[in-house]
Chain A
Amino acid sequence: MLEVKHLRVRFYDNPQQNEAVHDISFHMKHGEILGLVGESGSGKTVTAMAISGLMQRRQTICSGEIWFDGKDLLKCSRQDLRLLQGRDIGVVFQEPMTSMNPVMRIGPQVEECLKIHTQISREERRQRALQALADVELPEPEVVYKKYPHELSGGMLQRAMIASAIVSRPKLLVCDEPTTALDVTIQAQILDLLKKINREHNVAILFISHNLQVVHKLCSRVAVMYQGELVEEGSCEQVFFHPQQDYTKRLIAAIPTRRKRA
């Protein structure tokens, strides 16, 4: 469904810097959860932005191919891009507080995508939004629908954010560190929710995180990035228990586990 081939990204305003993403290739199947892990500066967020179309064409040079649903996202027209990326790819960011418009009620924000990309009636939009809010297990969707972002907690906001990403029934959900800003107990709930959505809506999830434990819990396949390159890719079992590359080994050894430090 998604196939990235030889993607390279370089930023204009920093010419001496190396490519942020250096020749990476990977693919995703329908309904799959792929974890993209790496530390800061590894290029994982840049990759996600290239796929979700948030990269500004004037600031970056992208080369390579990103095939999504039979179209190359780097070559198709702006209109196609807007339709594909608005409707068929949903995005969830790290900071729930800043990814919602503080002066708009939750409901209209969740509906926004339908308003732009479909012709369905207002009532139907409302129903779809309420359904999405119910899908993300927010209690009393009607009440939440009328609330403002600051009236919700971080965990609830992240649920609302996910609702607005899945309301147009996308085929791919790009989640950029969606649990990083949340407390561990809330984090576990959001992961369960993402699993449920993946199962019930049959939406593929590209899950970007620096947290390997979280990726281990959620994903079936993992790709490890380091300094703009994809160093290792494989099933969760394979990468976590039989890492091949030195960097992956170091990364896994550094995960805080229950052991005593000298």
Chain B
Amino acid sequence: MDFEPIYLSLKLALITTAILLLIGIPVAYWLSGKSTMAKIILEAFITMPLVLPPSVLGFYLLLAFSPNNGFGKWLYEHLNLHLVFSFQGLVFASVIYSLPFMISPVKSAFGHLPETLAQASYTMGKSKWQTFIYVLLPNIKASIYTAAVLTFAHTLGEFGVVLMIGGNIPGVTKVASIAIYDAVETMDYEAANQYALILFAITFAIVLAVFIFNKKAVKNPFE
């Protein structure tokens, strides 16, 4: 059995989660503040991947990344970035696709912190940044773990977006979910079963870990 697709899936999920932690936490914090029309619209956009068929997102990303069109052409000419049928393209698409899994839980956790926590820190002479690092972040740690793990698991399970913009290039864009599809297409059910079983086991272990980690919390970690 070829383990490369599994390795690629894990690599993609890890990189996507790392990038989303960096982008997602500040954006979630900003969104958790006073609600404005701009924030509501942005949040609606961020939530779209939850409800859109992945093929829709994949299709538009394909158009956007294509070196024949404006944005893709600019990326290619100025940054030498080729996002269609490349691993970088998969990372970019995965980040967009998994945005709501990182941002929603973290935003909700920030929103549930009593506002007096930050106020107490300000009256003690601490800046917004110090308050964020020493008071706010540590108190939503559990939500950040959950969000990171769910983002990771969700990226592992990606199929439609990957197929649309990455295709099926061995060692580059052929992740585990694509490998299953490919194996079934060529009637290689044994290989398909192996990939499927491994994906199932990894994902189940992750979700189980989240539930065990959150067992003290009353609510379901997906809420």
Partners in one complex: no
